[in-house]
């Protein structure tokens, strides 16, 4: 099985996108939503879909940033296949989102913080390398990982009115 050939982004481009996503995640966190945001870039590096968690706001169990971005990008592309695309997200996709990304044949996934409890691309389980996966994605984790991890930990600590354990 061959890997997809998504758009090539240099470290500066990836960093710029992650800065934008983390800033937006902070804004939605201030609104009471879990601070996770995502963007999908096409083969030219243009944004064709963006998403933010909206489970609380819309009472939608499928309101994960990755799924919102996928739906928008599919509409923009008029296709459900994303072999040449790259998804950038502030938190490692959960198992549900990782499964959707495999089904959508996403070319590459870049994420910030690893999710050791629910991560579907290596944090808890790696669905992209499972023998049942019909599509292999390129995965790059830990981009601004400390910043992303701190942001989400602080949000949950504030939400639970507890102090952060270091």
What residues does 86 pair with on adjacent strands? 41, 108
Element (H, E) at 158: helix 145-160
Cβ pair 137, 83 in contact under 8 A = no
The yes-or-no answer on residue 84 being catalytic is: no
What residues does 39 pair with on adjacent strands? 50, 88
Q: CA–CA separation, 138 vs 35, rounded Å?
A: 24
Q: How many CB atoms lie within 10 A of CB 140?
A: 14
Query: Active-site residue among 33, 66, 84, 92?
Result: 66
Give the torsion through C-alpha atoms of 140, 89, 149, 16, to 10 deg: 80
Buried b / exposed e over 28-43, threshold 16 CB at 10 Å, is bbeeebbbbbbbbbbb
Q: Which residues are catalytic?
A: 66
């Amino acid at each position: 099985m061959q890997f997809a050939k998504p758009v090539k982004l240099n470290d500066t481009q990836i960093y710029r996108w992650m800065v934008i996503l983390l800033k937006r995640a902070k804004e939605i966190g201030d609104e009471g939503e879990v601070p996770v945001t995502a963007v999908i870039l096409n083969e030219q590096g243009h944004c064709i879909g963006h998403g933010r968690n909206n489970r609380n706001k819309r009472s939608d169990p499928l309101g994960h940033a990755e799924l919102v971005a996928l739906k928008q990008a599919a509409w923009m592309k008029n296709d459900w296949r994303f072999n040449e695309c790259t998804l950038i997200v502030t938190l490692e996709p959960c198992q549900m989102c990782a499964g959707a990304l495999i089904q959508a044949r996403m070319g590459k996934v870049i994420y910030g913080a690893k999710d050791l409890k629910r991560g579907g691309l290596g944090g808890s389980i790696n669905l992209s390398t499972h023998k049942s996966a019909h599509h292999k994605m390129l995965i790059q984790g830990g981009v601004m990982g400390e910043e992303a991890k701190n942001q989400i930990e602080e949000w949950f600590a504030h939400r639970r009115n507890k102090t952060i354990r270091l």
